[in-house]
């Protein structure tokens, strides 16, 4: 996902269990209802993060400053 800068809106992530955006300049991410996410790796540039009913999420990891 190198080069990802502004935002990411995942509307229908039926099988997405892990998301990695480290090394990007992502500022905003929205993960819709039904995503079976359990781990999300995010860069320090994220300013806004929205999860809609992500019951399986147990880890949000970010880069160290």
| pTM metric for this prediction | 0.67
In order of 11, 12, 23, 34, the CA distances from 55 in angstroms are 16, 15, 26, 9
Q: Has residue 46 been placed in a domain? A: yes
Is residue 1 domain-resident? no
Residue 59 has pLDDT above 70, yes or no: yes
| 40 falls within a domain | yes
Residues of the domain holding 48:
7-62
| Total number of domains constituting the chain | 1
**Domain annotation covers residue 50:** yes
Q: What percent of the chain has pLDDT over 70?
A: 77
Q: Quick check: 27 pLDDT over 80?
A: yes
Decide if 44 is inside a domain. yes
32-47 burial, b at 16+ Cβ within 10 Å, e below that, comes to beebebeebebbeebe
Read off the pLDDT of residues 5-24 as tens digits, 9 standing for 90 and up: 677 777 766 778 888 888 88
Q: Does 2 fall in a domain?
A: no
């Amino acid at each position: 996902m190198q080069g990802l800068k502004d935002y990411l809106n995942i509307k229908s992530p039926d099988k997405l269990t892990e998301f990695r955006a480290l090394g990007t300049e992502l500022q905003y991410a929205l993960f819709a209802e039904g995503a079976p996410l359990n781990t999300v790796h995010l860069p320090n540039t994220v300013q806004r993060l929205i999860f809609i009913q992500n019951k399986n999420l147990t880890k949000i990891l970010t880069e160290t400053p």
